[in-house]
Structure 1
Amino acid sequence: MESRAKHGFDGTQGAVNQGKSDLGRKPRSVSVHDIVLRLVALATTLVAAVVIGVAKQTKTVSIQLSPTGPSMPVPVVAKTAYSSAFVYFLVANVIACVYSAISLAISTAKRASRSNLPLLFSIVDIAMVALLFSGNGAAMTFGLLGAHGNSHLQWKKVCNVFEKFCFDVAVAGIVSMLGSLAYVLLVLLAIVSLHKRSP
């Protein structure tokens, strides 16, 4: 009887230990770094889209119609809608912002990664990197033309006149670049995670 009781006790103890090990074992879940980076991407792309979307400045510029004629004051407006590069930049950040919100909601609601969602997120994350970098490049190119002009094409700089508008564009570009870097880090984390799981 003593051996049976001991055996039964050992069996119970083994089951308890097994249960503890199962409870202590963490399921495959979305990492904290992933959630934080998606929050950063969401915030930065949202701020960049809002800043570039409301960027507008009106200045009165003196224009001389003829070399001998008098100069006339004319109100000139600088806004995002007047540049296809800035519109593309705005659309790129809006798309990235919406995707960031959706992926963040799914990641936090579905802790256990039992589906192919992480792989899908990684693929779309790479697309977001390409989209944001292309939008930033387009806006940066047009912004440099506004800041320095182009002597070969006889394009004069305009940022000395529209200081506030150019400042808003620069801020939006810097913030959007932070969002791009957040997605780059997400892709790198996915590569590292895939490398660790490989035999």
Structure 2
Amino acid sequence: MQWWTRREQVSRHTIKNVLQLTGWESGGTKIVPCFLVLLKSNANHANLWTTPCVFTRRGKESVKQAQICIMASPTKKAKFEALRKQRVACYRSNLRLQKRKDALTSELRKCKERLNDLKDSGLDDLAKKAELPEVQTMLSTECIAAAKATSEQTRRYTDNWLLLCLLLQIRSPSAYQFLWDSHILPLPCVKTVRKYYISTAGM
């Protein structure tokens, strides 16, 4: 077994100390995170690097920052300190935003699961308990169906909803186009409404 650092070969005494610290000498798998070594000539643990711990990395960064502060003038030190604080603030802000994003993503996933589990019979029961008008019940049913659809091509509309959309389109084409473009209501496109009108007129 041979141990190498990045630039020079480690002495036998150092190898023995590393083996004792890491537990490789006794057959263990404990790794010292502060000692960066490369394990060679070992089929089971080829190209294995240990990474420095957090305290070691922070210590190196603090030394670099101290060297910069020592060589800089007081004015540049103030600018450097302001930039450092700004960097820390941005890092913390990104962490908060990431946590918020994860929470919202989890909540959205739960809402989608509840929406998929919601059945039409349960929705009708809720509408009856709330004593909603028939038009509002139909609208809520169409909204749930539109949310469950995987794409616009797979969406299906009831005859009553298509008839209501046809009346709205005849009454005010501009208002219908605005509602359809804004996705305020789950309206079918104008071509679908016209096809429905042609099919009903033929009857």
- TM normalised by structure 2 equals 0.21
Q: Which has the larger radius of gyration?
A: 2
Higher relative contact order (CA 8 A, sep 6+): 1
Bigger strand share: 1
Please, what TM-score do these two structures have when normalized by structure 1? 0.21
